[in-house]
Amino acid sequence: MIGRMLVASTNPDLPSAAGRWMGAEHVHGRRGTLRKKPSSPRWRAALPMIVTFCLVWLGYLSIVTIVIATDPYDIYRWGARLKLTRNDVPRDVVVRWVDVVSKQSGINTFLVGGSTTAMYSPDDISAALGGSVVAYNLSYGGPRPMDRDIVLDQLAINAQAKRIIITFDWMYILDSEKMRQGFPEYLYDEQISDDIRMVDLKSLRRTWKVLLGETSYEAQDDERYAKFTERQYRSFQMPAQMAELQGLIEEYRSVVDAPSGRTCASYNAVNEQLVPRIRKFVEKGAQVDVIMPILSYANYYFRMSDISATLLDEVLLSRRCFVKSIDTLPNVRVFAWDDDPRIAGDLGNFRDPGHIYNPGLLRRTLTSLSTGENRLTAADVEAYERRIRTEVKNYRLRNSYLERTARK
What pLDDT digit, counting tens, does each position of 297-324 carry?
A: 999 999 999 999 999 999 999 999 999 9
pTM of the model: 0.81
Which element (helix H / strand E) includes 56?
Answer: helix 42-70
pLDDT at residue 9 in the model: 44
**199: amino acid identity, one letter:** V
* Cα 362 from Cα 294, distance rounded (Å): 10
Which element (helix H / strand E) includes 216?
Answer: strand 216-217
Per-residue pLDDT band for 408 (boundaries 50, 70, 90) equals low
Q: What is the mean pLDDT of residues 358-377?
A: 93
For 203, residues 6+ apart whose C-beta sits below 8 A from its C-beta are 67, 72, 73
Read off the pLDDT of residues 49-92 as tens digits, 9 standing for 90 and up. Answer: 888 888 888 887 788 888 877 777 777 777 666 666 666 666 77
Read off the pLDDT of residues 137-157 as tens digits, 9 standing for 90 and up. Answer: 999 999 999 999 999 999 998
Alpha helical stretches, state H, 192-344: 201-211, 222-236, 239-252, 268, 275-283, 299-302, 311-325, 341-344
| Residue 251 neighbours by CB distance under 10 Å | 12
Q: What is the mean pLDDT of residues 226-244?
A: 94
| Residue 186 neighbours by CB distance under 10 Å | 15
Q: Count Cα neighbours of 373 within 13 Å in the Cβ-side half-sphere.
A: 14
* Cα 74 from Cα 76, distance rounded (Å): 6
Read off the pLDDT of residues 372-385 as tens digits, 9 standing for 90 and up. Answer: 999 999 999 999 99
pLDDT at residue 97 in the model: 82
pLDDT at residue 12 in the model: 44
State yes or no: pLDDT of 29 exceeds 50.
no
Contact 102, 159 (CB under 8 A): yes
- Three-point CA angle 281, 176, 188, nearest 5°: 60
**280: amino acid identity, one letter:** K
Strand, helix or coil at 147? helix
pLDDT at residue 3 in the model: 43
**273: amino acid identity, one letter:** Q
Pairing of strands 332-335, 375-376: antiparallel
Contact 303, 377 (CB under 8 A): no
pLDDT at residue 115 in the model: 92
pLDDT at residue 54 in the model: 85
For 359, residues 6+ apart whose C-beta sits below 8 A from its C-beta are none
pLDDT at residue 189 in the model: 79
CA distances from 311 to 116, 139, 165, 338, 379 (A): 18, 23, 25, 15, 24
Least confident segment among 185-189, 281-285, 338-342: 185-189
pLDDT at residue 89 in the model: 65
Q: What is the mean pLDDT of residues 224-233?
A: 89
* Cα 293 from Cα 116, distance rounded (Å): 7
Strand, helix or coil at 104? coil
CA distances from 394 to 147, 254, 297, 397 (A): 36, 10, 10, 10
**Which own/partner contact pairs does 3-11 have at CB distance under 8 Å and 24+ positions apart?**
8/34
Pick from 131, 133, 132: which is nearest to 111 by CA? 133
**169: amino acid identity, one letter:** D
* Cα 333 from Cα 373, distance rounded (Å): 11
pLDDT at residue 62 in the model: 82
pLDDT at residue 238 in the model: 96
Average pLDDT, the chain: 85
State yes or no: pLDDT of 4 exceeds 90.
no
